[in-house]
Amino acid sequence: MAIELKKMTVKILKEGDQVINVWSDNSSYFIAVKQQSGEVCVYSVTLDEEKKPRLSRNSPLTVAFGEGEIESIFSTETGDVRVITD
């Protein structure tokens, strides 16, 4: 029996948030949300092997105020590593 996704509601908005874009790539959906602070967070929704949607709990990409640098956090066997590049 084939399962087909007919409708999906993603409940991620907080008071004052605004969706500025939604796009898909293969079996993933991306939602750009402008927060009340002005920062933009990009959330991803992927479909697993059973076609069930999975939401990234923390936005892996945030566009924030700053002086043109990129801050990344990598997970390693010994813990998280923070890297800043310009």
| Domain membership flag for residue 12 | no
The domain total for the chain is: 1
Amino acid in position 70: I
| Domain membership flag for residue 3 | no
Taking the chain, what is the end-to-end CA distance rounded to the nearest angstrom? 51
Beta bridge mates, 80: 75
* Residue 48, domain extent: 18-85
Q: Give the predicted TM-score (pTM) of the model.
A: 0.78
| Domain membership flag for residue 47 | yes
Which residues, at least 6 apart from 35, have a Cβ–Cβ distance to it below 8 Å?
14, 16, 17, 41
Model pLDDT for residues 47-79, shown as the tens digit of each residue: 888 888 999 877 778 999 999 999 999 999 999
Q: Any long-range contacts for 61-70 (C-beta under 8 Å, 24+ apart)?
A: 63/39, 64/39, 65/38, 65/39
| Domain membership flag for residue 58 | yes
Model pLDDT for residues 5-51, shown as the tens digit of each residue: 788 899 999 999 999 999 999 888 999 999 999 999 999 999 888 88
